[in-house]
Amino acid sequence: MTDVSVADWLSMRAQVVERGVDVACTLRAGEVLAVLGPNGAGKSTVLAALAGLVRPDLGHVRVGETVLFDSEAGVDVPVAERRVGLLAQDALLFDSLTVLENVEFGPRSQGRGTAESKRLAAHWLAEVGLSELAKRKPRKLSGGQAQRIAIARALAAEPRVLLLDEPLASLDVTVAAEVRSMLRRVLRERAAAVDGQTATVIVTHDLIDALTLADRVLVVENGVVVDFGPVDRVLREPRSIFTADLAGTNMTEGTALAAAQAGIATLVTADGAQIQGECLHELGSGERCVAVFSPRAVAVYRRATEGSPRNMFPVRVTGLEARGETIRIRGAHGPELPLMAEVTVAAARELGLVVGDAVQFVVKATEVQIYPQSG
């Protein structure tokens, strides 16, 4: 049987050859995990493997001390017996049933009696703040109300693991914020009520979901994990270009030019460009690392400049975005290195940039942080 640490309440590894996915992660009891990544990265496969909807070619799924799947031991617990709840982007309520009957569906499908099912349904309707809609039919609900009911229905089945697949993506910004706030409260109260013997995994494209709901972040690209850790660490020290862009931060990948103690280090990119920055970690020569810097730290020039030690990137402007009192300038330093600068509206007007212009992005070494890419 797969050797996993009991200190991790949820542990999974799923290698699905046909989908090009090989992902592993762990969660402590009571934690919420946000799974991020571009379209087609393998996020939904993670949920499907946990739910039992996809059978990995190699791997395991363990919840607490219960093994739900183990390819080596031949264990594969049926979907209906896993106590894993899956909530999709669309509410998918039963139109022929009332709101209360929809929420009762989970407990009833588990063989609970009528009285117990009604009690659980009423409890979770109250938790999501919609008790007054118990007798209403789904067609008379707003999008936000329908999603709240779907969450109540999923929780009424008392799953040990709750899986949420883009649960707020179809809602407008205001409604999504309200449902997110409710979900944050409900998940925390539920974990406290069962002494933490639960976990939640949420697939999302929205950074706000990760910031407000999750304890940890798993970043998946091209079917593999490129970053995993506490939310603040992953977003403060991104180790993939996708995460850096999501966090509104520039990130470049490369290797350490030479062994370095804490201080100034030099990263060399795949095309030979050198980037200097401050490093709080020891780096071995050739060790994989990333350089991270804010778009606001980037100065933009029409021509190359001279002066104090700084990093200069010749880029081709690929996009201009208004962001309130600033303009974000997107540029490409070669095909593999997208970069961002953020300047005032006045500065942008003075530069007079359009997509396709060649400019210099300049950032001081003191504004760049360099981190090891692993760990």
- Distance, CA of 262 to chain centre: 30
Mapping DSSP to helix (H, G, I), strand (E, B) and coil, where does residue 362 land?
A: strand
CATH, range 248-372: 2.40.50.100
What type of residue sits at position 182? Answer: M
Residues 6+ apart with CB under 8 A from 39: none
Angle, vertex CA 365, rays to CA 362 and CA 371, nearest 5: 115
Contact call for residues 151 and 87 (beta carbons, < 8 A): yes
What is the pLDDT, as a whole number, of residue 354? 93
CATH, range 10-236: 3.40.50.300
Torsions phi, psi for 127 (to 5 deg): -65, -35
Q: How many CA atoms lie within 13 A of 18 on its CB side?
A: 5
Contact call for residues 255 and 288 (beta carbons, < 8 A): yes
Extents of the domains making up the chain: 10-236, 248-372
**Please, is 232 exposed, middle or buried when counting C-beta atoms within 10 Å of its C-beta (0-12, 13-18, 19+)?**
exposed
This prediction has a pTM of 0.74
What is the pLDDT, as a whole number, of residue 3? 35
Q: Which two tokens stand for residue 122?
A: 């009423």
- Identical fold, 10-236 and 248-372: no
Mapping DSSP to helix (H, G, I), strand (E, B) and coil, where does residue 42 land?
A: coil
Q: Which two tokens stand for residue 213?
A: 């709901």
* pLDDT mean values, one per 10 residues, the chain (375 residues): 54 96 94 92 94 96 95 94 88 91 89 90 91 93 90 90 90 83 87 89 87 90 92 81 81 81 82 85 82 91 75 92 90 83 93 93 91 62
Rounded Cα distance between 65 and 6, Å, is: 7
Residues 6+ apart with CB under 8 A from 74: none
What is the pLDDT, as a whole number, of residue 2? 33
What is the pLDDT, as a whole number, of residue 245? 79
